[in-house]
Amino acid sequence: MTETEPTRTQSGQPSGPEGDAAAAPPATSRAGRNLPAAIAVGGSLGVGVLLTLIFAPIGWIPVVAVAIAVAEWEVIKRLRTGGYGVAMLPLFVGGQAIMWSAWPFGVTGVLVSFMATVLVTMVWKLLSQGTSAAPVNYLRDLAVTIFVLAWLPLLASFAVLLVLQDRGWARVLTLMIVVVCSDVGGYTAGVLFGRHPMVPAISPKKSWEGMAGSLLFGTVGAVCTVTFLVEGQWWIGVILGPVLVVCATLGDLVESQVKRDLGIKDMGTLLPGHGGIMDRLDSILPSAFVVWAVLSALI
């Protein structure tokens, strides 16, 4: 397996070997990524999300659905190239059902759609070779398919559930702002002070100093958004911030390890300076669940 670790890090640097010039994008900053392109793309996406939430909050649902469909395509393509027989049709159809069912049916719709898709996938893979031949790598490919189903559309459904709640637009903005604060804090602290690797076996350039920056910026962002946008008690932000930062970091590490296993740098190339759609969603997806859970429980 080639050591071309694909993750963005809290220092902003790619985790692969520095000598892999063919795989790495041109470095335009100390952090080692195309910073102008990353800022331009990130800013454009942020403005689009903001306008949608302000003028047509329900439009957030198709935005999430389209983003996950593209991310699923990126992940499925990479997995199939890596030799995994992922069940594509159940993932696409079932994934959309999971997210869209949250609109009329809430959590119950999400759970029913997810379990129905799991059952369909079990049968789909069982009969993938027809009735006259046993399926090949049944357990492995079934497990990978269900993993992707939970990783993308199931976690994304909580971003849909957020916008359907009271002041849903504010809850979604809380998710996005705190994730950005965490990313900016980790990036800045990692570049300026990063000396001690946090998990070198998975992401060699992710530092404890960067993690501290993420916790500081993320908690401040959570307190401000919970207080002024969601109109909740400030102490809820003190709880939300650290929990979200930890989950966002773990989400980034999970995708890093998946890409390391597959020997790739990025899931896709759609977003200059960022990689693919999935490379932007790795920390947002688990964070969506955290924001939904904490705010639903405390507000």
Q: What is the distance between the alpha carbons of residues 41 and 275, in angstroms, rounded to a whole number?
A: 11
Q: What is the distance between the alpha carbons of residues 42 and 266, in angstroms, rounded to a whole number?
A: 17
Contact 256, 15 (CB under 8 A): yes
Residue 20 lies in a domain: no
pTM for the whole structure? 0.84
Quote the number of domains for the chain.
1
Q: Token match 């759970």: residue?
A: 111
Residue 133: phi and psi, rounded to 5, are -140, 145
Residue 205 lies in a domain: yes
Residue 245 lies in a domain: yes
Residue 228 lies in a domain: yes
Residue 4 lies in a domain: no
Both tokens assigned to 234? 């400030």
Tens digits of residue pLDDT in 24-34: 444 455 445 56
pLDDT for the residue 42: 66
Residue 11 lies in a domain: no
pLDDT for the residue 189: 94
Residue 102 lies in a domain: yes
Q: What is the distance between the alpha carbons of residues 78 and 84, in angstroms, rounded to a whole number?
A: 9
Kindly give the parts of the chain with pLDDT less than 50.
Answer: 1-27, 30-31
Q: Token match 């359907």: residue?
A: 164
Distances (CA, A) of 185 to 51, 148, 215, 220, 255: 25, 29, 8, 10, 20
Residue 259: which domain range?
38-298
Helices and strands: H and E segment counts in the chain: 11, 2
Residue 26 lies in a domain: no
